[in-house]
Amino acid sequence: MFTKIYNWSSSWTGTIIIVLTIIFFIAQAFVIPSGSMKNTLLIGDMLFVKKYTYGIPTPRIPWLEVKVLPDFNDNGHLIEGPRPKRGDIVVFRYPKNDSIHYVKRAVATGGDIIALSDKKLLLHPKEGNEFVKANYPKENIVQIGDKLWVINPYKIKHPGIHNDDTVVNNGYNPSQLFDMMPILVPEDETFMMGDNRDHSNDSRFWGTVPYKYIVGTPWFVYFSWDENKEVRWDRVLKSVESIEENTDMKNIKIQHQEGIY
């Protein structure tokens, strides 16, 4: 039996089926194409996406983006799973063109209220004021009306999140970077933002991401090189959590990229 299995897996048919099974249900390679997640994820990071974190997405043939099976559950997933949590880095399909993959951080989930004031992210979690008091430091909380809001709730735990001081509200830059009226995130949807806050094309511009477009979360970086094709060995075979924990973000020179991407 083992000989037959080995011979089958060594054949072209067996190899293709095994590879597609892994890509469909377990992991898929993904290359960071832009700097919207600097300095957490960098241009040239090559990572595996864990595809079963939020359920099993409806399988598609890689590169061709052709669905192998129908969307039986009408939610983009063959097997439904948990939804993204606040602070997760999520790989998802761009809602305006689902053949394109984006990677951003989930900053608000269904039922949360989110706003921007002078670049500061304000979050009122759906759990309410008592939840805010119990889970966030007093110096990060502000009261507006009858609601308690958390100011920049993710910057302490995720030091790669930053703003570009050269991007100012002078009328030439998009107004969405600076201020946004409070938005109630619809149920089963997620508000996404890039860690490179002033150089990220995200939910501030095109809205929240429904669960049907969620693909997975970064697993680990299997290879990384910079624009000069020099290998960044300190990032190879590291999880995103490990990179965040072991990198001194304060001493990294951030090279902002012009424009929204």
Instruction: Please list the active-site residues.
Output: 36, 104
Contact between 107 and 151 (Cβ < 8 Å): no
Written as six digits, the tokens of 141 are: 């909380």
Q: Provide the Cα torsion 226, 229, 230, 236; round to 10°.
A: 70
What CA–CA distance (Å, rounded) separates 261 from 257? 9
What CA–CA distance (Å, rounded) separates 241 from 221? 11
39 prior amide bond cis, ω within 30:
yes
What CA–CA distance (Å, rounded) separates 116 from 120? 5
Q: What does each C-alpha distance from 131 to 90, 127, 128, 210 come to in angstroms? A: 24, 6, 6, 25
What CA–CA distance (Å, rounded) separates 237 from 47? 9
Q: What does each C-alpha distance from 45 to 100, 103, 235 come to in angstroms? A: 17, 12, 8
- Complete DSSP assignment for 82-151: PPPPTT-EEEEEETTEEEEEEEEEEEEETT-EEEEETTEEEEE-TT-HHHHHHHS-GGGEEEETTEEEEE
